[in-house]
Amino acid sequence: MTHAAARLDPALEIADIDRRLFGGFVEHLGRHIYDGIFEPGHPSADADGFRADVIELVKELGVTTIRYPGGNFVSGYRWEDGIGPVDQRPTRLDLAWHATETNVVGLHEFQSWLDRIGSELMLAVNLGTRGTEEALDLLEYANTSVDTTRTRERAANGRSAPFGVTMWCLGNEMDGPWQLGHRSATDYGKLASRTAKGMRQLDPTIELVVCGSSSRTMPTFGSWEREVLEHTFDDVDFISCHAYYEEQDGDAQEFLASGVDMDRFIASVVATADHVAAVKQSDKRIMISFDEWNIWYLSRWKEEEATYRPDEWPIAPRQLEDRYSALDAVVFGDLLITLLQHADRVRSASLAQLVNVIAPIMTEPGGPAWRQTTFHPFSLTSRLAQGRAVRLPVDAATFESARFGAVPSVNAVATVDDDGASVFIVNRSTTDAASLRLDVAPLVAALGRDVAVVESHLLHEDDLYAANTLEDRERVGVRPLDGASVEASALTLDLPPVAWAALRLA
């Protein structure tokens, strides 16, 4: 048992929580859309072909803004393919994922699905094979209320009122050589600046996200952000971060340090953005849209990809269908803690992705839908994290990481609102339980009344690799954290090794 101590002081406020921090991501990839959210022949399908069981799970997950339609897919996508009569839409080859896209689901259908789950649309434009003109056409079609050829076309397709999309991504991962239309930072920065200026002329109310690095391990990381922002600083509001994590070589302890990597990633991008601001003698602060993050076993995908034949272009194949373990869920919960710890600059984030494809929700054609292990920390954090994020430094033992040196074994963050506080904690140690004493006297003083634990949730399994499957859909879940209580203005709790917990004090 390792002993840890912390103090919950509302004065250590980071920032108010932008609800877009709990966003999601839907890409035309694998069985995400077809056989995922959309399966007309399913027993639960509604009149438009959307699975009602999936809708209920997505609503429970608590996603706010959803980025669409990609991802790598968007860099070869013609948005016009997804509008108009379905039987007249073209079938295309998707070069990003080596599949066939039927375009049965497009902008109107996806917005209809969003209306059912109560989430907002975040659109990405194709700056890979297309450019400024096509982005302006899509913006006019989506957001303009003036009578034009594009808006009449939108009305003819079933929507007279504008979509009113607030947040727009200027391409996707343009630093990546795998990306259609991959460019240098200078070439992309110039194109993004021209496109952003034109889009703002058409709709000055929108918020724009410019592409940052697709990974902190990219050889151009840092210099890419600087060069792109030198061109776009005055034109955009956000720069994107993308990061995926996986256990490598069976080293669970090193995997549990993933939150440290995300923390340093964010700090580096913030420093670079603020450097550009300083050079430009500007008080403007570029925010971060962490619009792709998750656990993704990329090594498995590489093996899967190698089996594709050049002449094989399947429709909605099973791709990237990672099965998540209890260990994955604990690391995932720690990544959420890290995002909240940077709520002052991370004002939007998108879990990539939602259904079937590296997803918290899985489905079987004609069969059930179920929650993966990672579903639980996201749904609980989205629901419980309200008000303001508050730093919660923990005095705890450390373990040695090959990549990061001494890593705290316990990581935590809190959120405070008018009715109380929520606390999110992870024990990263694979060997030692942790006993935490949390001084809540400053919280009691700020609220003017005592608090008690009114809700507690623990995610832990003795078998780190236990998972939820089609055969055993509820193998891993959350349970109350026994023994967590507040006495004499101190919250005490014990966490087993490799565990994530969420508590509500009110």
Active site residues: 173, 292
Q: Are residues 35 and 51 in contact, defined by beta-carbon separation less than 8 angstroms?
A: no
Torsion, CA 87, CA 90, CA 95, CA 96, rounded to 10: -50
- Distance CA(213)–CA(173), nearest Å, equals 7
Cα–Cα distance list, 60 to 57, 164, 442, 465 (Å): 5, 25, 33, 24
Answer yes or no: are the C-beta atoms of 125 and 192 closer than 8 Å.
no
Q: Where are the beta strands (DSSP E) in 296-367?
A: 346-352, 361-363
Q: Which amino acid is at 129?
A: T
What is the rounded CA–CA span in Å between residue 83 and residue 265? 38
For residue 180, count other CB atoms closer than 10 A to its CB: 19
Burial class (CB in 10 A: 0-12, 13-18, 19+), 466: middle
Contact (CB, 8 A) for 299 and 429 = no
Q: What angle do CA 475, 478, 483 make, to 5 degrees?
A: 130
Residue 435 φ then ψ, to 5°: -110, 120
Tokens of residue 313, six digits: 């272009």
The number of CA neighbours under 13 Å toward the Cβ of 166 is: 9
**Using alpha carbons only, how large is the chain's radius of gyration in Å?**
23
Tell me the backbone φ, ψ of residue 265, rounded to 5 degrees: -60, -50
Contacts 24+ apart (CB under 8 A), 338-341: 338/259, 338/262, 338/263, 338/266, 338/411, 339/21, 339/262, 339/290, 339/293, 340/14, 340/17, 340/21, 340/381, 340/385, 340/389, 340/413, 340/415, 340/424, 341/14, 341/263, 341/389, 341/391, 341/413
Using DSSP's 3-state secondary structure scheme, residue 491 falls into: strand
Cis-peptide, bond into residue 310, ω within 30° of zero:
no
As a whole number of angstroms, the distance between CA 461 and CA 159 comes to 49
- 229/211 Cα distance (integer angstroms): 10
* C-alpha to C-alpha distance for 337 and 360, rounded to whole angstroms: 17
CA 421/CA 455 separation, integer angstroms: 11
CA 33/CA 99 separation, integer angstroms = 13
